[in-house]
Amino acid sequence: MADPELFPDAAPEAGDTSPASEPEMRPEPDIAPDDVVVAAEAPESFLAEPDLGPAADEPAPESTDLVDADEPTAAGEPAPDAGEPAEADIVSEGAVPPEGDVAVAPPPAQAALPRTLAVVSQPIRHDSAVKHVTGAAVYIDDMREPAGTLHLAPGWCRTHARAKLLAVDLSEVRKAPGVVDVLVAKDVPGINDVSSAMGDDPMLAEGEILFWGQVVFCVVATTREAARRAVRLARFEVEPLKPLVTVEDALAADSHVLPDYRFGRGDVGKALANSQRRLKSQIAVGGQEHFYLEGQVAMAVPGEDDDMLVYSSTQHPTEVQHTVAKVLGVIDAAITVETRRMGGGFGGKESQANQWAALAALAAKVTGRPCKMRLDRDDDMIMTGKRHDQVASFDVAYDGEGRLLAVDLDFASRCGYSADLSLGVNDRTMFHADNAYFYPTVTIRSQRLKTNTCSNTAFRGFGGPHGVIAAERIIDSIAVTLGLDALEVRKRNFYGPGRDVTPYGMKVEDNILADIVGQLEVSCDYWKRRASVRAFNAKSRILKKGLALTPVKFGISFTLIHLNQAGALVHVYTDGSVHLNHGGTEMGQGLFLKVAQVVAEEFGIPLEKVKITATNTAKVPNTAPTAASSGSDLNGMAAQAACREIKARLIDFVSLVYGTPAEQIDFRDSQVIIGNGAVPFREIVKKAFLARIQLSAAGYYKTPKITWNRDKAEGRPFLYFSYGAACSEVTIDTMTGEMRVDRVDILHDCGKSLNPAIDIGQIEGGFVQGMGWLTTEELVFDGEGRLRTHAPSTYKIPTASDVPEHFVTKLYDSPGNREDTIFRSKAVGEPPLMLPASVFSAIFDAIGSIKPGVVPPLDAPATPEAIMKAIHATRRGGA
């Protein structure tokens, strides 16, 4: 349940105070030259054009339509108060303009903005909310197909996960009804690779099969059903090989997809050897299927001169563009990729969308007809990557009050058959292996293991959740061993003054987590409930309750530094409406709405005046993926930069024409405030157009301050940290292993939220998704490497009944991000997924109550079977 204060029954929307009827556009009447404010008389600004005055034969903008701020506007409403300080994007005093074109000042620090926000920070519903719930939102499979569209289905060997591919008989496939063509590796005119960077992901397998579900050929047919029936007719001749399936298999075979990596500080071995208290253990943390509602899908439409338009359900249109061009053997500029929306992504469409778009494009090139590929749910789950599963082993030293002295952590990660994004994913596991805790002496290692399973990939949190779970298990285990409450042990290990440097050398500068945890501790009645849980467990033999309050500290930025950039394209039309495009993609998270709010706020216009448009590589090129929780940070700032460039031109124009100092010009309430008067925004835009002022801009932003030298393991990989805390209470049945979440309380830091309604939705959704990962979602591979949980009948995502009746989510009352982010907000996409570590720790707490002092060996996900296994081991004294 969201904080009711953020959702009034009727939230007022910003209204357009400009005149209801728009006058016909026509040249303005001439004004005598003496009446025109010339540049020499206007306040000097380095944003001013040297010559904004009209030529002798050109009409000049009127300077007589200024409405006094105290008088009614054309719409009959009072004009805004002009006494409010102007926005800080006005030029600093004393700046000198360069000659020639308009020079644009960089955006100033946002802390200088004193104005009240009208659109940003308002709880506005998702721009497609009504379309989502009514089925009107158009996804790729809903698009009207061009005449003659063909359909694709993937063909693969259903008997082996690892084998030499000796021959494939496709004769019956080609003769099947409706089949137009069958694509194999030799049909690829360019490079047969769909990897992000490593060159180890063949689009169509040739010579060997490396995992169960690897695509060997692709059928192109007149209907999707015909294509799916035809692929079953293939006959494979193979030489079976023993697959490596588990982490243990890969470790035994010394099979690695990438080199090991490590960082830390101090002499951990010496610190451990000299410690009086030492704890060694390990925890296995499972993977997770993305289970996006819209599966992998792409449609390619061929054009002339090698052009190809690709509609792709992808988080990274630019990478799809690069991949399609590489496969087809053409230049990137020949490929246009468009994404209006995805029905969920969660990281599963960051790199995994490449293959299906490239296959559709290859089929379109070969046949000359539009081609669409939409994977069946079973094929999708079998063929695409998951969250990595890892085994974390730790050896720690601590004092009598539970403070950590030394930590030795090792992660063994199942990456699958190729590298994909495993370098970044596993690096981020290491970056978050401390979670919220200071490790005085520490070594963190990561092994990236190669197995004959699908290539694991990005998933919400991008490896960070594994590190957080390992850190929380360390704290929980110390608390059990010492007989202390885990919350007290957590607080004693928080980062703080003099204890504020991470294992990778970055200083934690804000340290607000203690305040967040302290507030939640009081608001959720933690200590009163702790006493109630103890009393319940003392009386109940079969049912046991658990309680845990866990923190989250999550770094925000891509650790691959060059990805921290974004572009945006903004057009202002002469009716005062705005066209917005940027490199971010919309997957239901509300990014498009948030960036539109930024644009509306900058121009002081209602949100409905901003037209949201599909992400398109022909409009904004060379984009980063919408990932790493950075979508709003990057694209919001890029859009703001574009708006401020246009506003700077308008300010100079208005200052020149009306003789008003730039610092007395502001944009709000659909008006341009000019000293003590106001003019409707659209009228100013018209006048600017007639005066030949450019009303379009391409904005650009790159994240400042971040550096990371991976070879030396030093730098500042994150611009800032997002924080949160959650308290969860559970009940388990010690006879069956069943578990119920009874109550959840969340307090999360979003800085100055861009949209509290959207952010609370992200927090709640992330929590439930993470809860599923840690409790019900179990990926099962058999000994032959075949995924046995490839449908909702066997793979259990959370449902509405799994959400507790008491589910309270509140936003931390923050003064704003200390870093200069978009309107001082903080990222919210990934950090909430780690909040349900509180559910997992509460289950651990409940099991631990069976035999105090014994550390339960509970692995994730905590399914009934895993809970029963941990209960039996605890009763035996641990295992």
Task: For residue 578, list its beta bridge partners.
Answer: 572, 610
- Out of 784, 819, 830, 865, which one is annotated catalytic? 830
Task: For residue 548, list its beta bridge partners.
Answer: 728
The first and second tokens of residue 455, run together, are: 């290539």
Distances (CA, A) of 9 to 12, 86, 119: 10, 33, 18
The one-letter amino acid at 827: A
DSSP-H helix ranges across 266-419: 268-273, 317-328, 353-367, 377-383
**Burial class of residue 802 (count of CB atoms within 10 Å of its CB; 0-12, 13-18, 19+):** middle
- SS3 of residue 82 by DSSP: coil
**DSSP letter string, 740-790:** EEEEEEEEE--BS-S-HHHHHHHHHHHHHHHHHHHHT----B-TTS-BS--
**Burial class of residue 661 (count of CB atoms within 10 Å of its CB; 0-12, 13-18, 19+):** middle
Question: Phi and psi for 696 in degrees, rounded to 5?
Answer: -140, 145
**DSSP letter string, 785-815:** S-BS--STTTS----GGGS-SEEEEEE---S
Q: Under a CB-based contact definition with an 8 Å cutoff, are residues 56 and 615 in contact?
A: no
State the maximum Cα–Cα separation within the chain, in Å, rounded to a whole number: 98
Residue 723 is inside which H or E element, if any?
strand 720-733
Residue 550 is inside which H or E element, if any?
strand 543-556
Q: Under a CB-based contact definition with an 8 Å cutoff, are residues 838 and 490 in contact?
A: no
Report the distance separating Cα 747 and Cα 727, nearest Å: 9
Instruction: Report the 10 Å Cβ neighbour count for 561.
Output: 17
Question: Phi and psi for 733 in degrees, rounded to 5?
Answer: -105, 115
Instruction: Report the 10 Å Cβ neighbour count for 280.
Output: 11
Catalytic residue list contains 830 = yes
Report the distance separating Cα 322 and Cα 190, nearest Å: 12
Report the distance separating Cα 173 and Cα 176, nearest Å: 5
The answer to whether the bond into 861 is cis (omega within 30° of 0) is yes
Distances (CA, A) of 513 to 399, 461, 625: 23, 19, 29
The first and second tokens of residue 507, run together, are: 């200083």
Task: For residue 781, list its beta bridge partners.
Answer: 787
Give the strand pairing for 441-450 and 256-265: antiparallel
Report the distance separating Cα 871 and Cα 533, nearest Å: 18
Q: Under a CB-based contact definition with an 8 Å cutoff, are residues 628 and 428 in contact?
A: no
Instruction: Report the 10 Å Cβ neighbour count for 722.
Output: 23
Instruction: Report the 10 Å Cβ neighbour count for 473.
Output: 24
Contacting residues for 275 by C-beta, under 8 A, at least 6 apart: 397, 398, 405, 406
Task: Give the distance from CA 640 to its chain's centroid.
Answer: 20
The one-letter amino acid at 396: V
- List for the chain the helix, strand, coil content (%; round to 5): 30, 25, 45
Nearest to 870 by CA among 473, 538, 446, 452: 473
Question: Phi and psi for 834 in degrees, rounded to 5?
Answer: -90, -5
Q: Under a CB-based contact definition with an 8 Å cutoff, are residues 439 and 405 in contact?
A: no
Angle between helices 631-658 and 591-603 (to 10 degrees): 20
Map tokens 């943390």 to a residue.
285
| Residues designated as active site | 830
